[in-house]
Amino acid sequence: MNYDWILDRGYLPQVVIQYGIRRQLQDRIRTIHSTSLEETYKTKMQYVKALRERPMAIETKTANTQHYEVGTGVLQACLGPRMKYSCCLYPTGKETLGQAEVEMLEQYVERAQLVDGMKILDLGCGWGSGALYFAEIFPNAKITAFSNSSTQKAYIDEQANSKGLSNLKVITGDVVDYEFEKEAFDRVVSIELFEHMKNYELLMAKISRALKPGGKLFVHIFTHKTTPYDFEEGLDEYAFLYWGYDAEYGSATLFPTRAQVARPVVGEWEALC
Ligand SMILES: C[S@@+](CC[C@H](N)C(=O)[O-])C[C@H]1O[C@@H](n2cnc3c(N)ncnc32)[C@H](O)[C@@H]1O
């Protein structure tokens, strides 16, 4: 039986929901800790094999109705000034949300080795936190923002217009069936989109085709450090802002190696995590 409507309509007090989430997390941690290393490794390898046999992503439309097309105003009421719909960085713990957004964006610039003049694809751009920031600080760069939400595009276009940015274009499409221009980008930067994906091999082959020779992919993904698992119905949904039916809590070692992905494609890539 599905009890989502009780949660969705706000009948349960926050404290009860938090208790439920904590219980569920404790169960998960107990299962992980009580499993032998050998068993964990075996399960993970089975999971990796299963991912390779799955489509690139599932239920892509459900994620849109659950959060990406709920209306920009709803998200504006919750997010920081840059509308960053992903983790922020609090180096001292005293930062405001707006400062923490910028702290994280600065880290991306450093870790993804972004410099002015590059062609950069922000894959899974949300409301443009990354794309608008890169366009602002790199006036000679060409930024392409990509997501499957037309309300996100409308918001980013409006912001770019009001800031006078002409080096940013926004494309709306589903990464599953969209094919990017070949060898077009120096960098692909993807902030919390990979959680929506299942078959990384297909996704990274697609990204590889879009990168110029020597281009690099930077990925920010939230993961469990050892144990990947699929989203499960129930309070999992509330554990991360009602995350989504398509989601996966991966682990970094799920990414295929360069050799595995690069074989069938032209060009080279390097993953920066
Ligand atoms: C968690 S949000 C992160 C947004 C943004 N990178 C940020 O940090 O604010 C994930 C983004 O991926 C996009 N996305 C999810 N599934 C997608 C798909 N199948 N094709 C294209 N974009 C997708 C969503 O619309 C959203 O923009």
pLDDT, tens only, 93-122: 999 999 999 999 999 999 999 999 999 999
Where does the pLDDT of residue 254 fall: very low under 50, low under 70, confident under 90, or very high at 90 and above? Answer: low
d(CA 265, CA 159) in angstroms, rounded, equals 36
Q: Which two tokens stand for residue 203?
A: 């996704």
- Residue from 129, 133, 126 nearest 147 by CA: 126
Q: How many residues does the chain have?
A: 273
Amino acid at 119: K
Question: Which atom of ligand 1 has the smallest separation from the CA of 86?
Answer: 8
Distance of CA 68 from the midpoint of ligand 1 (Å)? 8
Indicate the burial class of 93 (C-beta count within 10 angstroms; 0-12, 13-18, 19 or more): exposed
Is ligand 1 within 6 A of the CB of residue 244?
Answer: no
Segment 168-189 mean pLDDT: 96
Indicate the DSSP class of residue 175. T
What ranges do the domains of the chain cover?
35-272
Whether residue 217 has pLDDT greater than 90? yes
Ligand 1 pocket, 190 CB below 6 A?
no
CATH superfamily of 35-272: Vaccinia Virus protein VP39 (3.40.50.150)
Pocket of ligand 1, candidates 125, 127, 129, 218: which has the most ligand atoms within 8 Å of its Cβ, to mutate? 125
